[in-house]
C-alpha cells in the first residue's frame, strides 16, 4: 500500500536539464574550462557539493567549488525568474496526486532553487516535505535524498512511490526501496539498465495518475 509520493524536480516537474547544461557550459567557457560532451550526463544527479567540485577538478574552473556553486545558482535563479520551464501537465499531476497522498520532493537542485521553482509554479503548498541532496551525505544514485524525504514524511520507504526521469535518479529511488515510476527525459534518457529497474515507465507526466502509482 502506497502511503506517499515523492517527486524529483529537474526533468520531471521542470524541463530544466538543458538550462543547467547551458549555464554550466557558459560558465566553463567564460573561465577557460575544459568542457566536454559527457559533462552534463556526468553531473546529472550529483549534489551541489559534488558537481561544483567536478567543475573545479575536471572542467578546470579556477574558483573554489563554493564560489562555482553560488555563481551557477545565481544564474539559474535569474533564468527561472525570466521563464520557469515548467513541464506541461506537471502542475495538474501534482495537484491530482496531492488530493490522495502526502507529497515529498527529492531533488539534486540547491535549496534556494527548489524553493524558488515551487513558489514561481504555485506548487509549494502541495508538498509536505522537500529535500535537496546538498542536505544529505551523498547525491544520486545513492539513496540518501529519497530516504531523507521518506523520513521527513514519516513513511516507510517501501510504502512510497518515486517519480523519476534520469538514470541516476531511477537508481537512487530503487536503492531506497521505493516503487519507481519513470518518466524518461527525452533529451537525457536513462540507460536501458536503469530503466529496467523502474516498476512503471510512462510516456509523459500527463499519464501520471493514481492508477500508475498504485494499480487497482
Catalytic residues: 8, 10
CB atoms within 10 A of CB 196: 12
CA distances (Å), 126 to each of 37, 88, 105, 144, 168, in order?
Answer: 37, 17, 10, 22, 25
DSSP secondary-structure letter at 126?
G
For residue 63, the SS3 value is: coil
In degrees, rounded to 5, the angle at the alpha carbon of residue 57 between the alpha carbons of residues 54 and 63 is 95
Distance CA 146, CA 143 (A): 6
Distance CA 213, CA 127 (A): 17
In degrees, rounded to 5, the angle at the alpha carbon of residue 48 between the alpha carbons of residues 42 and 53 is 65
CA distances (Å), 19 to each of 24, 79, 162, in order?
Answer: 9, 8, 23
CA distances (Å), 36 to each of 69, 93, 167, in order?
Answer: 19, 35, 19
Kindly state the cell numbers that stand for 174: 530503487
Amino acid at each position: 500500500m502506497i502511503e506517499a509520493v515523492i517527486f524529483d524536480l529537474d526533468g520531471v516537474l521542470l524541463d530544466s536539464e538543458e538550462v543547467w547544461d547551458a549555464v554550466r557550459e557558459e560558465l566553463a567557457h567564460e573561465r577557460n574550462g575544459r568542457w566536454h560532451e559527457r559533462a552534463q550526463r556526468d553531473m546529472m544527479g550529483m549534489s551541489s557539493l559534488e558537481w561544483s567540485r567536478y567543475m573545479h577538478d575536471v572542467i578546470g574552473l579556477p574558483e573554489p567549488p563554493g564560489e562555482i556553486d553560488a555563481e551557477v545558482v545565481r544564474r539559474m535563479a535569474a533564468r527561472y525568474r525570466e521563464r520557469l520551464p515548467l513541464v506541461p501537465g506537471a502542475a495538474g499531476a501534482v495537484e491530482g496526486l496531492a488530493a490522495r497522498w502526502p507529497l515529498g520532493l527529492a531533488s539534486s537542485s540547491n535549496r534556494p532553487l527548489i524553493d524558488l521553482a515551487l513558489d514561481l509554479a504555485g506548487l509549494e503548498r502541495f508538498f509536505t516535505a522537500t529535500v535537496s541532496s546538498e542536505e544529505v551525505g551523498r547525491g544520486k544514485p545513492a539513496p540518501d535524498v529519497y530516504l531523507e524525504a521518506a523520513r521527513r514524511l514519516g513513511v516507510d520507504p517501501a510504502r512510497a512511490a518515486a517519480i523519476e526521469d534520469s538514470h541516476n535518479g531511477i537508481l537512487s529511488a530503487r536503492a531506497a526501496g521505493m516503487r519507481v515510476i519513470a518518466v524518461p527525459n527525452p533529451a537525457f534518457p536513462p540507460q536501458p539498465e536503469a530503466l529496467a529497474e523502474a516498476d512503471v515507465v510512462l510516456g509523459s507526466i500527463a499519464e501520471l495518475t493514481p492508477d500508475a502509482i498504485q494499480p487497482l
